[in-house]
């Protein structure tokens, strides 16, 4: 079910004057926790990832990770899968980057896999990672929110590569057939390819967008979730 974004929250993330900006002391790239001036009693905390803080990689274009992060958010909204926190692209104290609402975690993925209430969301996340070719689905990148008890997924900077890069800790759906809801979501994605491609065009290269729809076509044709290779599909430092 499609969930509307809070317009006040979005305006704060997009246009609010950033007050504090403190380095988060983990992760391979420079990431900052930020707050906003005059945002009221329910002022959000957000995670700011500037392009200038991205460590160069040999296999991803320099300065492109924040764009991939935002493209992932856009695609999740198009699919109606709302596990990525509200995210915007904007200028900040260290230049342009993404600003994403911080969701306080309750517990990590190891405690979720066997719980029935999270299986639908977890399976959507697995299919999403197949679509975006997520090279970095670590256990710390999915969690239950402390306040809302929903499943959330974060850190989608290493996505949309044209070569096979999938790395994930979600393995419990391999070999399962696509259920009707997943088939319908893929059908909508494929049917509206030109519109969705235009939406992503500012953030991804043409070849990366083409490969996204090739992966969607392949999944829809197979109607079965693929088996993964333990030598290739385990994330680094998972």
Q: Dihedrals φ, ψ of 45, to 5°?
A: -100, 140
User: Structural domain of residue 216, as residue ranges?
Assistant: 7-222
pLDDT at 6: 87
For residues 92 and 103, the answer to whether their CB atoms sit within 8 Å is no
**Which of these, 103, 111, 120, 105, lies nearest to 180 by C-alpha position?**
120
Confidence band for 206, pLDDT divided at 50, 70 and 90: very high
Domain assignment present for 181: yes
Reported as type and span, the H/E element at residue 105 is strand 105-108
83 within domain boundaries: yes
Q: Are 67 and 58 in contact (CB under 8 A)?
A: no
> How many domains are there within the chain?
1
In a domain, 235, yes or no: no
Under the banding of pLDDT at 50, 70 and 90, the label for residue 108 is low
In a domain, 231, yes or no: no
Rounded average pLDDT over 144-155: 92
| Two structure tokens written together for 120 | 């639908």
**pLDDT at res. 205:** 97
Kindly state the DSSP code that residue 140 receives in the 8-state scheme: G
Strands (E), 125-173: 142-145, 151-153
Average of per-residue pLDDT values in the chain: 92
| pTM of the full structure | 0.95
> Average pLDDT of 180-207?
97
Average pLDDT, integer, range 18-47: 88
Mean pLDDT, residues 107-128: 83
DSSP conformational letter for 225: P
Q: How far apart are CA 235 and CA 24, in angstroms?
A: 22
237 domain-assigned: no
Tally the residues of the chain. 238
- CATH code at 203? 1.10.510
Residue 101 is inside which H or E element, if any? Answer: strand 97-101
* 178 touches 223 (CB < 8 A): yes
Listed as own residue / partner, the contacts of 71-75 with beta carbons closer than 8 Å and 24 or more positions apart are 71/159, 71/160, 71/200, 71/203, 71/204, 72/132, 72/156, 72/159, 72/160, 73/100, 73/156, 74/199, 74/200, 74/203, 75/128, 75/131, 75/132, 75/196, 75/200, 75/212
* Domain-embedded: residue 28: yes
SS3 assignment, position 89: strand
Does residue 236 lie within any of the structural domains?
no
Average pLDDT over residues 42-70: 94
Q: Within a 10 A sphere around the Cβ of 120, how many other Cβ atoms?
A: 14
What is the band of 201 on the pLDDT scale with cuts at 50, 70, 90? very high
213-235 mean pLDDT: 95
What is the average per-residue pLDDT within 136-140?
92
Per the domain annotation, does 118 fall within a domain?
Answer: yes
What mean pLDDT is predicted for residues 1-22? 87
pLDDT of residue 1 exceeding 60:
no
Weakest-pLDDT range from 101-110, 167-176, 220-229:
101-110
Candidates 169, 180, 187, 173; CA nearest to 226 is 173
């Amino acid at each position: 079910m499609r969930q509307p974004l809070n317009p006040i929250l979005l305006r704060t993330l997009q246009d609010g004057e950033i007050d504090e900006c403190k380095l988060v002391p983990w992760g391979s790239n420079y990431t900052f926790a930020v707050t906003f001036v005059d945002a009221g009693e329910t002022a959000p905390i957000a995670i700011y990832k500037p392009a200038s803080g991205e460590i160069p990689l040999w296999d991803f274009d320099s300065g492109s990770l924040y764009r991939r992060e935002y493209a992932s958010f856009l695609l999740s909204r198009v699919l109606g899968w709302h596990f990525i926190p509200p995210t915007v692209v904007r200028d900040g104290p260290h230049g342009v980057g993404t600003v994403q609402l911080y969701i306080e975690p309750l517990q990590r993925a190891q405690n979720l896999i066997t719980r029935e209430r999270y299986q639908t969301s977890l399976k959507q996340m697995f299919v999403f990672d197949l679509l975006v070719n997520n090279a970095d689905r670590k256990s710390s990148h999915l969690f239950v929110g402390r306040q809302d008890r929903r499943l959330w997924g974060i850190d989608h900077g290493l996505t949309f590569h044209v070569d096979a890069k999938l790395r994930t800790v979600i393995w419990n759906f391999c070999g399962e057939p696509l259920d009707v809801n997943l088939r319908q979501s893929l059908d909508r994605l494929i049917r509206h390819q030109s519109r969705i491609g235009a939406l992503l065009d500012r953030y991804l290269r043409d070849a990366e967008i083409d490969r996204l729809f090739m992966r969607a076509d392949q999944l829809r044709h197979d109607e079965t979730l693929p088996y993964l290779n333990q030598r290739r599909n385990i994330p680094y430092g998972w």
